[in-house]
Structure 1
């Protein structure tokens, strides 16, 4: 199943974690991706050029947490920035590059029900979706076994019981498989059972065929 062919609209307050981020406009550096695309880093992004490029041995990259309304990036000192849905792509992508390195792929899905969506893929199966230049969703494909999780520890491999320990979860069989909604987060389970494991996780608006 393609990581770009899943969608949901999500908001899970119990699993969200951090404050907002400013959208600066002054450019301090350019980051070139593997396929030649370039993204600008706003002046108010508190990362060094080496950290943005993912090449600094001395500067610790911020940790990335999944959230129902976007992504949180937590620095080693404990400060956090939140990339929320609706923020500009040119702000969000450099923030994620600071934590994960360059995108492994970028492109566009033309046949999404909500209209064309652009995407940026990162290591570990994480894909970000953008529409009209705005961040609108993320998708975590469990086949790449990425280490990402929410602030409450929900990620690939979490069990249905573990999710129900922290929030209400509904499960139904859909054309996608055993699909769950956890207060707004969406995803797929290996089984509708307490020990059924999360195999796919998403939030926001992403491309899907049902």
Structure 2
């Protein structure tokens, strides 16, 4: 009988210890999961798509490319493309967040060869061009779509925006030709150049030291 009582007592102690260990192991696991989720949310950098906006400050930059713009992560070097066709409100919000500034001007030019074009211009010389398209909703904020970009002279102290090869306003013809295969023609605009992929611009002269004064891709409003 003593042995049976002792056996019951030992069993009760073991069961109690096991329950205590089980309960204590569950608490830190739950807290750790919550802490991890919180850390991930704080450090996650959103990539722009049709439903999200960039929510970073100086960690991203804009890169010029043919028929699009690219967003580059300055820390990792990874890029994501913003193709033509994005609605005006989404596009401007993305660029606002990356440049940390709003457009200095927004207007509509009704005299362009391609028809009316809406343009938003920032202090760094970047102008985004939007074309009006029929929309089922007929909502003004969603009927203008990204169709081109233009870069001219920028305001003082504004960082220059460039291509992935480092070509920007002020780059020489020699630098341009070392990075791209170009065709140059003398037009009413000046010494106009273009690439097969759709990147265009103007040199201020004909020699190798001539500098780029304008760059664009996609729809533009140039009068020749």
Q: Distance in 2 between matches of 1:143 and 1:60?
A: 19
Q: Distance in 1 between matches of 2:211 and 2:109?
A: 28
Normalising to structure 1: TM-score of the pair?
A: 0.71
CA RMSD of the aligned region, Å?
Answer: 1.9
Task: State the partner residue of 1:13.
Answer: none
Which is richer in strand?
1
Task: Give the Å deviation of 1:143.
Answer: 5.7
| Residue 189 of structure 1 pairs with residue 172 of structure 2 | no
Instruction: Decide whether the 8 Å contact of 2:59 with 2:75 is kept in 1.
Output: no
Task: State the partner residue of 2:136.
Answer: none
Q: Distance in 1 between matches of 2:216 and 2:175?
A: 17
**How many equivalent pairs are there?**
162
Task: Give the Å deviation of 1:188.
Answer: 0.7
Question: SS of the counterpart of 1:161?
Answer: helix
Q: 1:46 to 1:209 in 2, by over 3 A?
A: closer
Residues 170-205 of structure 1: CA deviation (Å, up to 9, x unaligned): 111101111111332111101111111111111110
Q: Distance in 2 between matches of 1:126 and 1:137?
A: 11
Task: Give the Å deviation of 1:69.
Answer: 1.6
| Residue 87 of structure 1 pairs with residue 86 of structure 2 | yes
Task: State the partner residue of 1:70.
Answer: 68
Q: Distance in 2 between matches of 1:60 and 1:154?
A: 21
Instruction: Decide whether the 8 Å contact of 1:108 with 1:117 is kept in 2.
Output: yes
Q: Decide which structure has the larger Cα Rg and report it.
A: 2
Q: How does 1:1-210 map to 2 (within 5 A)?
A: 21-24=48-51, 44-47=52-55, 51=56, 59-78=57-76, 79-100=78-99, 101-132=101-132, 133-142=144-153, 144=155, 147-183=160-196, 184-210=198-224
Instruction: Decide whether the 8 Å contact of 1:62 with 1:98 is kept in 2.
Output: no
Task: Give the Å deviation of 1:167.
Answer: 1.8
Q: Distance in 2 between matches of 1:126 and 1:167?
A: 21
Which is richer in helix?
2
Task: Give the Å deviation of 1:80.
Answer: 3.1
Q: Distance in 2 between matches of 1:104 and 1:93?
A: 12
Q: Which sections of structure 2, spanning at least 5 residues, go unmatched?
A: 1-46, 133-143
Task: Give the Å deviation of 1:106.
Answer: 0.4
Q: Distance in 2 between matches of 1:144 and 1:182?
A: 27
Q: Which sections of structure 1, spanning at least 5 residues, go unmatched?
A: 1-19, 25-43, 52-58
Task: Give the Å deviation of 1:144.
Answer: 4.1
